[in-house]
Structure 1
Amino acid sequence: MKGIVFTEFLEMVESKFGLETLDAIIENSNLPSEGSYTSVGTYDFNEMVSLITQLSGVTNIPAGDLIHAFGLYLFDGLAKSHPEVVKSYKSPLALLYSIEDHIHVHVKKLYPDAELPTFKILDKTDTTLSMIYSSSRGLYRLAHGLMEKTFEHFNDTAQITYQLLKEDGTEVKFDIVTNGK
């Protein structure tokens, strides 16, 4: 997993839960990296699992809710790091529709070893989008948070629902209906 995900996660933990909580989850997670990440590094996904598990234990917030909250937080960090990508879209549906064919292509140029989820478009209209999220990591709640924040970024709203196609969350169907501006 790319380091930018770790650095953004640690920033979120510090800003929302404080430095003491951040120190506690790093200390109690038994991390090979010792919690020292660079945005361009690559780290074991299990380190993120450990950090989220520890944070859930400390805060009594379910891990899935924390992952969703991180998706909401992560959008801003990614948009700041790569403003040219977000600025090239006029609407949230256009951005989400282009995840696989443009955004992930851009990410792969920057981080060739990045392991990204896939998004298969099933249907698209001017106000709706249906797609299948697939990832061995099952971070569909992160994707859901990123999608919600995409609409907020464009000052728009939408109803975003999902259905687990595989119980472990490695394959999920998202249906998006925009409220339109």
Structure 2
Amino acid sequence: MKGIVFSEFLELVEDKFGFEMADDIIDEADLPSGGAYTTVGTYDHHELLTLVTLLSQKTGISVEALVQVFGEHLLGRFYEAYPVFFEGVNTCFEFLDTIENRVHVEVKKLYPEAELPTFSATFPQPNVMHLTYTSKRPFSALAYGLIKGSATHYGENIAVTMIDQSAENLTKVVFELVKQD
């Protein structure tokens, strides 16, 4: 997992819970990286799971809720850092439909070794999107947060239902998104 994800997570922890909390979870985690991340480095995703679990234990907020909030935070940060991905895109559905064939293509150009999840979209009705998230990593709550962050970014009210189709070593979730009037 790219270091930018870790750096953004720790920034979120500092913003929401303070520098001391970020330092505490890094110290307690006893991570192979030592909790020092460069944005372009690659790190084991288990380190992020360890940090989130420790934060959950200290705050009483579920791991899933923390990861979802992190996903929402990431969407905002992606908009600030990579506005080109949002140019000419006018809705949440349009943006989410570009992740696999636009955003991830560019990420792979910059970081060929990146192991990205896949996103595939279908539109059974004009106001309904089925977005399938598939990954070797258990971060469907992060994808959910990105979806919610995208809806907020575009000022849209979208109901989201998660249909978990995961197997032993594969996370697969179909998100049903329905635009609300």
Same fold (TM over 0.5): yes
C-alpha distance in 1, partners of 2:112/2:106?
Answer: 10
Residues 53-90 of structure 1 show CA distances to partners (whole Å, capped at 9, x for unaligned) of 11111111111111111111111111111111112312
Give the Cα–Cα distance (whole angstroms) in 1 for the partners of residues 113 and 167 of structure 2: 27
Q: Deviations over 1:146-179 (max 9, x none)?
A: 0011011111120111111126670111101112
Does the 8 A contact of 2:97 with 2:120 survive in 1? no
Higher mean Cα deviation, 165-174 or 142-151?
Answer: 165-174
List structure 1 runs of 4+ shifted beyond 6 angstroms: none
SS at match of 2:159: strand
Count of aligned pairs:
180
> Alpha-carbon deviation of 1:124?
4.8
SS of the aligned residue for 1:119 comes to: strand
Q: Structure 1 residues 27-36 or 163-172, which shifts more?
A: 163-172
- Percent of aligned positions with the same letter in both sequences? 40
For structure 2, the 5+ residue unaligned runs are: none
- SS of residue matched to 1:98: helix
| Mapped partners of 2:79, 2:124: distance in 1 | 24
Inter-partner Cα distance in structure 1 for 2:104 and 2:172 = 18
Contact 2:4-2:40 at 8 Å conserved across structures: yes
Structure 1, unaligned runs of 5 or more: none
Question: Could you state the TM-score of these two structures normalised by the residue count of structure 2?
Answer: 0.93
TM-score by length of 1: 0.93
- RMSD across aligned positions (CA): 1.5
Q: Residue 166 of structure 2: SS of its match in structure 1?
A: coil
Q: Secondary structure at the match of 1:112?
A: coil
Alpha-carbon separation, structure 2, partners of 1:93 and 1:124: 13
Q: Select between 113-122 and 77-86 the one with higher mean Cα deviation.
A: 113-122
What is the one-letter code of the residue matched to 2:177?
Answer: I
CA contact (8 A) 1:97 1:129 kept: no
Q: How far does residue 95 in structure 1 lie from its aligned partner after superposition?
A: 0.8
